[in-house]
A and B are shown apart, each in its own frame.
Chain A
Amino acid sequence: MTDPGGLPREQEAVRRLLADARHDAPPPAEVVARLDETLASLVAERGSEPLRDADALTTTPVTDLAARRRRAVGTGLLAAAAIVVAGVAVGQLVPGGGGDSESAASSATSSRDLSPTDPPQERSQADAGAAEAGPEAGPEAPMRSTAPLAVPTLSSADPDLDEDVLDLRTRATFQADRLDPSEALAGCELPRLERGRSVGAEVDGRPGAVVFAQPSGAAQDVAVYVCGREEPVRTLTLPAP
């Protein structure tokens, strides 16, 4: 709990305003019904089998949840569902990567279900020194080495690629520290790049990588590569994290 007595007067006043604006009603009936329905689907999907960590990696999303996603995943989702436990190559082209965890990258759009349980970004700011007390010491144990992650599947022709890449960047922040940098982009030849972070991915059906440049101002340049090609197959500009 904060120490109200130690707060400046203005901050204490804001704290009181926020406390007064607390929501204390239960969720609406339609939300409860929707949650119950989703839970029933999960229970039916799982049966009475004991839960395994790997379940989170291999099961497909609940249908109605997927349906709510704003973009039709189409063939990308089918391909992603077919790719199970293939391993992920994630790493930093430059060790340290500028120390900005928010510009990190990794994970998979197809493994979206993993992320809600992962620690949020900004961990590297004030608490970088507390890395040993990071996800491992948190209330939720990490998935380190329990199973490899699914490879993100991207298409350079996808008009919504920026959304996938943005999603990928967010996931990367959460999971980059769980992946073995030594495996980063193993076997993939890429042009020598400046500072940034890269994520292994399947791009247009081939091994590839997404390279997140250091943010510049309010923007961050991203290049999508297919292994072995000098030029990116797609470049994007995202809002800086």
Chain B
Amino acid sequence: MSDDRSDQQLLRAHVDGDAEAFGVLFARHRDRLWAVALRTMGNPEDAADGLQDGMVAAFRRAGSFRGEAAVTTWLHRVVVNACLDRMRAAKIRRLEALPDDVEDRGTLVATAVHDDQPDEAAEDSERRRRVLAALATLPPDQRAALVLVDMEGYPVAEVAQMLGCAEGTVKSRCARGRTRLATLLADLHHPAGDPPHGNPPPDGPVRPTARPRGPPAS
């Protein structure tokens, strides 16, 4: 059953006492809000809590919406803030919360790509697992910015509204987050044959570090 009313009309109707309007509005954006909450929180349990917090806040605070931005932007803002709130208040440790689709709770970030998984799907799954695990190590604000900009593809200007900060701040958070992820995921984004760092190949002679002893050459 569809409702032809716009987001703004639904929100207005909710404020005016329409008991059904908010449910229609929230359901319309629920999937994407869930995706943002999930990637920001890092696990489905906390994401569900954050999304619920956001929904409750949006329901009760709808009267404060003034229409300067899209309703969906406002909803994202409410949910992201709820998630950030919850993360800070609960002092969620960065590596405590694993991504929802991670089954292996072993070493996360520093694990090399498995060579024994030639299957492309398995490699994709492993890559995603690595990315999400690395993302979970970022500070919440950087993580939220990257989820909204790089994962969800929202414009920086809109994310700035969602996060309540300047566009420059969003860019800065994204850049810092990407830089950190680039280090953690170096082996994923460097082309084969171009090892970025690490130990040298094991074969080959070890060069002496001291000069050979003996009489000085005449």
Contacts and interface: CB of A to CB of B under 8 A. Distances in A.
Given A38-B52, A42-B59, 12 more contacts: A11-B175, A19-B151, A20-B124, A26-B31, A32-B30, A34-B48, A43-B22, A61-B56, A116-B56, A116-B57, A142-B64, A163-B89
A2 B149 contact: yes
Contacts of A74: none
Contacts of A16: 189
A127 B165 contact: yes
Contacts of B147: 18
Contact of A138 (B26, B51, B164): B164
A31 interface: yes
Interface in B1-60: 14-17, 19, 22-23, 26, 30-31, 34-35, 38-39, 44, 47-49, 51-60
Interface in A111-142: 113-123, 125-127, 130, 133-135, 137-142
Contact of A23 (B39, B141, B171, B178): B39
A50 B22 contact: no
The range of chain B's interface size is 35 or more
Contact of A140 (B64, B156, B179): B64
Given A17-B127, A125-B169, A127-B165, A117 B58 contact: yes
B189 A21 contact: no
Interface stretch (B68-76, B104-112, B201-209, B210-218): B68-76
Interface string B84-108: 1100111100000000100000000
A70 B90 contact: yes
B63 interface: yes
A159 to B, nearest CB: 15
A41 to B, nearest CB: 9
B73 A2 contact: no
Contacts of A146: 64
A31 B44 contact: yes
Contacts of A32: 30
A31 B34 contact: yes
Interface residues of A, number: 78
A2 B64 contact: no
A38 B15 CA distance: 18
Contacts of A43: 19, 22-23
A139 B161 contact: yes
Interface of A: 1-2, 7, 10-11, 13-28, 31-32, 34-36, 38-39, 42-43, 46-53, 55-56, 59, 61-62, 65, 68, 70, 113-123, 125-127, 130, 133-135, 137-143, 146, 163, 166-167, 170, 174, 239
Contact of B156 (A2, A20, A56): A2
A27 B168 contact: no
A55 B152 contact: no
A65 B131 contact: no
A56 B66 CA distance: 16
B141 A15 contact: no
A122 B178 contact: no
Contacts of A51: 14-17, 60, 62-63
Nearest to A16: B189
B23 A14 contact: no
A15 B55 contact: no
Contact of B55 (A26, A38, A55): A38
A143 B135 contact: no
A140 B31 contact: no
A32 B89 CA distance: 24
